[in-house]
Structure 1
Amino acid sequence: MSKPVIAIFDVGKTNKKLFLFDEEYKIVFERSARFTETKDEDGDSCENLESLRLSVFDSLREVLREKEFNIKAINFSTYGASLVYVDQNGQALAPLYNYLKEYPEALKKQFYDTYGGEEDFSVRTSSPVLGSLNSGMQLYRMKYEKPELFKRMKYALHLPQYMSSIITGKMYSDITSIGCHTNLWDFQNNAYHEWVAEEGVDAKLAPLFPGDKVITSSFPSDNYLTGVGLHDSSAALIPYLESFREPFVLISTGTWCISLNPFNHNPLTKFELTQDCLSYMTFTGKPIKASRLFAGFEHEQQVKRIAAHYNQAIGKYKTVKFDMAVVKKFLPDKPLHLYFNSLGFDYFDFAREDLSRFKNDIEAYHYFIYTLIFKQFLSTSLALDKTNVKRIFVDGGFSKNSIYMNLLALVFPDIEVYAASMAQATAMGAAVAIHQHWNKQQLPTDMITLKLFVSPKSK
């Protein structure tokens, strides 16, 4: 008898994956692909949308040939801040522009001058001024720079919803994408910001569809229940929200380390916005205060520098063990959190450190992580914001870094700090979001594996 499964397409910037989860949320099939980027009309790199679209069809055909699986449902999780402009038939009219594409200063000034200035606008929309990373600004740019294309466009779909549309033939928006630093959503009024209607952009946004509901597919047949797709950061939080009821913060680590606090409903302040705080939305439409740190990228750059200076292999630093004797050389006399709170936000800059002052590469690497934890402490503290959080969960790459985890436990002595491991958190979140529609079993209690890190000084 074939095994009931859900198919999840998890689209990252680098890897595009298909997972099949069984009813116990174990991965029973996995396929990964990478595509060569293409160029937009300005010569900037961007996602190869056609390769991505065709890979969905090819992957589904492949698993449908596997007689051991019975696909009950399909869903999508993808990176955010990316729009696909489609005609009435759902066909893409333009490239999938890169969210790092440089934004014209004159157009940005025009927008913010018209709608109340950067500071007040950012507070209302919980969106730091990020240029193309504010996906609503991409749509605004389209209106003024490509008016003919804007006119022909039926909808601007965020990438998760575009992916869903090629299976269902239906076009919707989803709150996890709309509510994520897009400049589109007014968090104070819980509705689209007034500029959306004033610029006629509201007509280009498909109707909102709940992230925990399903649509019937049209490909490969009408037998498959399909989710509307979710923004990856919001999807990764879902298994935690389903598993834990006491207040927690999730630090989702990768290129960005994002501290997500679903128990902090305080409005963003102007100061928090200047420190790269923002709001996400859960798939049920509740705001999540979050803070971002570009720590994964910094780690990648500084590890290269340390390895080159000491003539070591870069891979060595994936397995360096925490050494308290080394860390004691850097620790202050007072508790670490009090010391860090007494410093300015830019106190540490490891990129300017003279590496020759360290005894060896292991000491240099420990000190680098120490400076990174300073930044992580300040960033996560902004998300904590006096909420009664009992636990911090860390998932992603840094959860496997024993120096990072031990120092995090040291700097948050009154909070339990856990390394959390879960098989493909964003994909699992997209599956759990529509659990009730495809799975007759109860949600398992062992979706997340936790490892407690005790503050090293108390060991």
Structure 2
Amino acid sequence: MRAIAVIDIGKTNAKLALVDPQSLDEIAVLTRPNTVRPGPPWPHFDIDGHWTFILDGLSQFARCHDVVGISITTHGACAALLDTAGQLAAPILDYEHQGPDSLRTDYDALRPPFDVTGSPRLRAGLNLGAQLHWQFQTMPSLLPRVAHVVTYPQFWGFLLTGQLACDITSLGCHTDLWDIRRGQASDLVAKLGLSEKLTPARAPHERLGHLLPAVAARTGLPVETPVCCGIHDSNASLLPHLLTQPAPFGVVSTGTWVVSLAIGAKAVQLDERRDILVNVNAHGAPVPSARFMGGREHDLALEGAGGQVTWPAMGQVLADGPMLLPTLVPGSGPFAAQSARWAGQEPPLGSDTRAVAVGFYLALVNAECLRLIGQQGPVIVEGPFAGNDAFLAMLGAASGKQILCANSQTGTSQGAALLCGAAHQAGSRKFSITEDILQACKAYAQRWAYCMGAV
């Protein structure tokens, strides 16, 4: 059967998905942990391990399916520095490394303002420009050895095809390197000495090239298999809905990061101090966005002890009122300066009531994200939280919006497959709750806001 292979490198896991180009169903998904390796010279991603995983997975897919194209999507805040031979000039820095903060004052004097780039000033290496500045300052020999800078999806595309590029969505993702008003590199690129080294930005759907002969031989795929340029993962999640859903609407892409994107948003003053940014979508248009590390916070709050979201447990939490208040990941999200605490009796680890209370917490933070970006219309939730009834119920009650759940297991794979000519469709289902549950969730949200000092 014909299928599209999608390379999907998230912050927590690396994935390889096989997608039906007609239904957009995921036929198969392979994963491996995205484990960060220690330095020297700095904490970095396991590129060799990922590459072996990708080649082995493509080989496995090729034995069973007619793979008609390869697409790529990855997390943002990441680039590869290549030398003249096409090898990595340095390991690819983990954006959570705190090193760039040591030169924060120096970097702040260089970076363009928020209204030019749509990039808020973020911690650690979450601004790609801050990463590059810190790397070049702390390793002076690096910049002269760098011949090409490519954003992360296109690094994997380069390994597959030998062709160099960046893409507009990855450059437009809080990098400080992209002028969202002009659709071109910002003046920071020249200040960093990269004017001749940052590879040209292309649209995600453009064909990057065909497989290198060595890759074709290793995987068993035809050398003429096309590889698309690639896309930032939040924009991959947005793309199916961008092509099919009438504006206005919002998309909440859930994973390690929970990213909210508003299409047809009402005009509001975006506050960069609250992890608000402007992404650039696959068509090159700016999109008001907000985010927090929701998947990471979910895991931190549950501490691996489990617990199930059930309707009886939801009723108990709504009645008894235990509430988690932000923030579990310092420096992330709309309440970045606050420290997490429980209001009321903290539910025990491993309990269903704790799982529910955490789901409510994540939804309430997400509702604030939607408010801050002026989101209007229905909200489409994709990714793991689309199966969390506590999250969905509270998000609908707190935001006052109709909640739709994307049918796909991973919207990133579905969106990335569209770049290779898959059918333009996006399935979703309405999420509904009874009136008594709705009113109880609204009352809980009001109490949570009171605890936060918002009312």
TM-score, normalising length: structure 1: 0.81
Residue 197 (1) aligns with residue 190 (2)? yes
1:401 aligns with one of 388, 396, 408: 388
Determine the structure 1 residue equivalent to 2:397: 410
SS in 2 for 1:132: coil
SS in 1 for 2:19: strand
Determine the structure 1 residue equivalent to 2:71: 75
Distance 1:321 1:212, change over 3 A: farther
SS in 1 for 2:306: helix
Q: Check whether the contact 2:154–2:229 (CA below 8 A) recurs between aligned residues.
A: yes
Determine the structure 1 residue equivalent to 2:341: 351
Bigger Cα displacement from structure 2, 221-230 vs 102-111: 102-111
Residue 11 (1) aligns with residue 9 (2)? yes
1:140 aligns with one of 126, 129, 133: 133
Determine the structure 2 residue equivalent to 1:309: none
Gaps of 5+ in 2: 217-221, 323-333, 440-455
Q: CA deviation at 1:330?
A: 4.5
Distance 1:262 1:84, change over 3 A: same
Q: Check whether the contact 2:310–2:352 (CA below 8 A) recurs between aligned residues.
A: no
Determine the structure 2 residue equivalent to 1:186: 179
The superposition leaves residues 185-226 of structure 1 with CA deviations (integer Å, 9 ceiling, x where unpaired) of 122333222121233222221011221111321321541111
Q: CA deviation at 1:365?
A: 5.3
The structure having more radius of gyration, on CA atoms, is 1
Determine the structure 1 residue equivalent to 2:227: 226
Q: Check whether the contact 1:230–1:283 (CA below 8 A) recurs between aligned residues.
A: yes
Measure the CA separation in 1 of the matches of 2:267 and 2:78: 27
1:391 aligns with one of 372, 378, 382: 378
Q: Counterpart of 1:244 in structure 2: which amino acid?
A: Q
Measure the CA separation in 2 of the matches of 1:348 and 1:193: 32
Distance 1:357 1:176, change over 3 A: closer
> How high is the sequence identity, in percent, across the aligned residues?
24
Q: CA deviation at 1:184?
A: 0.6
Q: CA deviation at 1:326?
A: 4.5
Q: Check whether the contact 2:236–2:416 (CA below 8 A) recurs between aligned residues.
A: yes
Q: Check whether the contact 2:378–2:402 (CA below 8 A) recurs between aligned residues.
A: yes
Measure the CA separation in 1 of the matches of 2:318 and 2:299: 21
Determine the structure 1 residue equivalent to 2:262: 261
Residue 300 (1) aligns with residue 292 (2)? no
Superposition pairs of residues 201-280 of structure 1, within 5 angstroms: 201-219=194-212, 220=216, 222-264=223-265, 269=270, 272-280=271-279
Distance 1:48 1:184, change over 3 A: same
Measure the CA separation in 2 of the matches of 1:252 and 1:232: 9
| Runs of 4+ in structure 1 over 6 Å off | 344-349
Distance 1:89 1:61, change over 3 A: farther
Q: Check whether the contact 2:364–2:394 (CA below 8 A) recurs between aligned residues.
A: no
Q: Counterpart of 2:306 in structure 1: which amino acid?
A: G
The superposition leaves residues 378-436 of structure 1 with CA deviations (integer Å, 9 ceiling, x where unpaired) of 121112x1x5x2201112222222222112222233x211222313211111110231x
1:96 aligns with one of 92, 95, 98: 92
Distance 1:346 1:105, change over 3 A: closer
The superposition leaves residues 350-381 of structure 1 with CA deviations (integer Å, 9 ceiling, x where unpaired) of 624463699x9555655554444332221211
Residue 125 (1) aligns with residue 117 (2)? yes
Determine the structure 2 residue equivalent to 1:423: 409
1:157 aligns with one of 142, 145, 150: 150
Distance 1:174 1:346, change over 3 A: closer
Measure the CA separation in 2 of the matches of 1:257 and 1:321: 26
The superposition leaves residues 53-96 of structure 1 with CA deviations (integer Å, 9 ceiling, x where unpaired) of 233333333333x1x52222111111121121112332112111
Determine the structure 2 residue equivalent to 1:290: 289
Q: CA deviation at 1:37?
A: 3.9
1:327 aligns with one of 318, 321, 341: 318
SS in 2 for 1:40: coil
The superposition leaves residues 284-331 of structure 1 with CA deviations (integer Å, 9 ceiling, x where unpaired) of 211111111233333322233xxxxxxxx8322344656446525559
1:450 aligns with one of 418, 429, 434: 429
Q: CA deviation at 1:105?
A: 4.3
Determine the structure 2 residue equivalent to 1:340: none
Q: CA deviation at 1:345?
A: 6.2
SS in 1 for 2:61: helix
Residue 317 (1) aligns with residue 308 (2)? yes
Measure the CA separation in 2 of the matches of 1:92 and 1:8: 23
Q: Check whether the contact 1:278–1:291 (CA below 8 A) recurs between aligned residues.
A: yes
Q: CA deviation at 1:282?
A: 1.0
Determine the structure 2 residue equivalent to 1:171: 164
Distance 1:319 1:224, change over 3 A: same
Q: Check whether the contact 2:70–2:420 (CA below 8 A) recurs between aligned residues.
A: no
Distance 1:213 1:114, change over 3 A: closer
Measure the CA separation in 2 of the matches of 1:22 and 1:104: 41
Measure the CA separation in 2 of the matches of 1:45 and 1:347: 25
Q: Check whether the contact 1:265–1:288 (CA below 8 A) recurs between aligned residues.
A: no
Q: Check whether the contact 1:268–1:278 (CA below 8 A) recurs between aligned residues.
A: no
Gaps of 5+ in 1: 305-312, 332-343
Distance 1:77 1:268, change over 3 A: farther
Bigger Cα displacement from structure 2, 79-88 vs 290-299: 290-299
Distance 1:199 1:23, change over 3 A: closer
Q: Check whether the contact 2:153–2:230 (CA below 8 A) recurs between aligned residues.
A: yes
Q: Check whether the contact 1:409–1:454 (CA below 8 A) recurs between aligned residues.
A: no
TM-score, normalising length: structure 2: 0.82
Bigger Cα displacement from structure 2, 344-353 vs 425-434: 344-353
Measure the CA separation in 1 of the matches of 2:27 and 2:337: 47
